[in-house]
Structure 1
Amino acid sequence: MGVTDDTVREAVYRSLTAEFATGVDGRPATVPLTPFYDPTRAVIVVTASPAFAGKAERADADPRVSLLLHGADERLHVTGRTTVRDTDLEANSAVVERLLRDEPPTPKRAAMTAAADFLNTRLGRLLLDWYGLRILIEVEPTAVERMPTGGVETTVPAWPAADVDASEAATYDRIVATVVQDGWPRSWPLSAPTVRDGRLRLDSPSDVSPTDGQPACVLCHWHDDDLSALEQRLIRGRCRIDGDVVWFDPASSFHLRNRTALDRLRFVVDGKRRTRRYFADRDETYSPWPGLRTLTEW
């Protein structure tokens, strides 16, 4: 792979989130996920709640994926093949807790352990029982590439054509572009993106060659140190070639925000609704709220 397993493992430990990309039918989709490392099988593990199972479904449909990990002085672009485990979501949660508690002491471990501890409280189980259920996506690395960060602070410009106003743009500190090349999703960070005539300039690495009309996506996101507040927007569209410059023409976007009390309430209600639909599609039962007897026993 060109990079040792130790390097990958340390980058996983340092990454509170990593950009996880899939590429079903040549159409990329990138989301921020928290990675874990299973040393017994040398695989990277990311997870999805049943409420947001789409990322796992895409990884199951095409197991070729990529991850952008954040090391000390560089990013690692990892490509790999996935195995999706979704038969016992509660057992999967126990696996994630074990992997987390086996990590060395880091700010990531402290933040995620605090979140796991809250999920085990009565209030946590009442509001986020659905979030504690986990689908596992195991990634066996096939190739790893070093990507120096260059020490450039990322800024995101206002982008009305993608529904990103100046206020939202100012919150983001990461922006990543993704295309599918030779069947594999390929992501890279944009350190100083520019927008012109509604299009975003894509300065791709030398080994990435977008073509005119090729599907692409751009992920803008930020989060605080414990993931208690976050925001992200995934913008889908196509590449446009103008001379020697590659531009991204947005077509649609999906926005997720968890910053205010109202955001959190919507997140809980929407998560329970989505989870109920996930189990209904599988002819299984899920109760979004505990019964009165359970509440009084608390």
Structure 2
Amino acid sequence: MKAPAVSVLPSAVLPIVERAITCEYASLTRSGAPITWPLTPYHDSGTATIDVSTGLTYPAKAERARHDPRVALLFSDPTGSGLSDAPVVLVQGLATVRDADLQANTDLYLRRVLQKMPQAVTGQPWVVVRRQRWYWSRVWIEVTPLRILWWPGGRLDLEPLRWEAPADVTAPPSDPAPEGPASPGWAVPPADWRPRADAAMRLGNPVLTVRDEDGWPLPVRSVGVELVDDGFVARTGPFGAAAGGRACLTFHEHPEVFTGQQNAVFVGTAGAVPGGVHFRVERALADFSLPPGRFTQLRKFLSSGRALTPRLAHEAARRHQPIPTVRKPG
């Protein structure tokens, strides 16, 4: 049965879900390893899903969810939400990938961004925004919550409150998978993870993601972190103290007014140690930070655009659709 077309979220979590600038989105690779990236969440009043998006030119987050729809959203950073004493909220749910109408996706993304973060295009001539089709062309991931845990006031030292969806709630199927081979990777990860680790330590406490006993991705905000020879030791509080197995460690930060973000993501293995979790790094993932400063961002966008624009036609063709046009709302 399809989830009901009304908000099923507990009222205590609605403010942060609706107003958060970023959440930590966790999905599973084909080998079952969790990967977690910060994304902007969107929840429309009267709907049953929490939505995130990824670029058509870098759709790996969506393709992982299409292959295994078990995903998680962690709301653990209230920066920019305007909320004080916000809860930390963990949502585990089923993903529905939407890419059957790329033009509608692009229109929706631009409209939602302008509503939530208008500064993203402030000061840019519209002709420049239109040329950034490689960025604005979108795949949507709609997440139907099945379980929600939250820690009032962000008190991770306490037991969370819990909500479960009715047993008959499920998610609609994803749109059909695109045909043919996906575009190859475009961003080169660093050969040595250690310089990225030094930079990551300036970004605050990371999110550790493992798999829970039922195989779902389980992201947990740490309450402290230490850099060690082979990785990190993170303190996670009681809820994440027994974490183990394949894991991801995600650092990120952004200012109150979202004008850029810094992130560093590592994959490896986790094991419980006294007082925390020992995360052994295998490698760092490619850097997708957007540094502050209009000139620096423009240079980054130009560089990314040169690498990603050739992928736009290929990914649209795989879905038998034209390249979307960036259209100004209203």
TM-score range, shorter chain: 0.7 to 0.9
Relative to structure 1, the CA distance from residue 210 to residue 166 in structure 2 (aligned partners, 3 Å threshold; closer, same or farther) is closer
- 1:252 paired with 2:283, answer yes
Relative to total residues, which structure has the larger helix share, 1 or 2?
Answer: 1
One-letter amino acid matched to 1:78: V
Q: Contact 1:174 / 1:222 at 8 angstroms: preserved in 2?
A: no
* 1:179 and 2:213 correspond: no
Aligned counterpart, 1:294: none
- Give the aligned partner of residue 178 of structure 2: none
Change (3 A) 1:210 1:63: same
Residue deviations 1:31-68 (CA, integer Å, cap 9, x gap): 00000003343210111111221111111111111111
Q: Does 1:134 align with 2:166?
A: no
- 8 Å CA contact 1:51–1:271 kept in 2: the answer is no
Counterpart of 1:80 in structure 2 is 93
Report deviation, 1:150: 4.0
How much does 1:141 deviate? Answer: 0.5
Q: 1:113 maps to what in 2?
A: 118
Residue by residue over 1:245-282, the C-alpha shift from the partner in whole angstroms, topping out at 9 and shown as x without a partner, is 53110011122232253554243332453343254256
Name the structure 1 match of 2:51: 45
Q: C-alpha displacement at 1:194, in angstroms?
A: 1.5
Q: Which runs of structure 1 show a deviation greater than 4 angstroms over 4 or more consecutive aligned residues? A: 97-101, 116-120, 165-168, 241-245, 284-288
Aligned residues: 269
Aligned with 1:233 (options 257, 260, 264): 264
Q: Secondary structure at the match of 2:90?
A: strand
TM-score, normalising length from structure 1?
0.77
Checking the alignment, whether the CA contact within 8 Å between 1:46 and 1:138 is kept in structure 2 is: yes
Cα distance in 2 between the residues matched to 1:45 and 1:14: 13
1:188 aligns with 2:220: yes
C-alpha contact 2:110 2:136 (8 A) present in aligned 1: no
- Give the Cα separation in 1 of the matches to 2:193 and 2:103: 41
Structure 2: how far apart are the matches of 1:83 and 1:119?
33
1:90 aligned residue? 103
SS across alignment from 1:265: helix
13, 16, 26: which one aligns with 2:18: 13
Corresponding letter in the other structure for 2:248: C
Kindly report the root-mean-square deviation, in angstroms, between the aligned alpha carbons of the 2 structures.
3.3
2:147 partner SS: strand
From 193, 198, 212, the equivalent of 2:230 is: 198
- CA distance in 2: counterparts of 1:229 and 1:79, whole angstroms: 27
CA 1:15–1:243: 2 relative to 1, 3 Å = closer
Whether the 8 Å CA contact 1:275–1:286 is kept in 2: the answer is: no
Q: Give the whole-Å Cα distance in 1 for the aligned partners of 2:10 and 2:109.
A: 20
Seq. identity, %: 27
Gaps of 5+ in 1: 104-108, 153-159, 289-298
- Alpha-carbon deviations, 1:76-133, whole Å to 9, x = none? 01111010001222201333455567x7xxxxx2xx133267778112112x222111
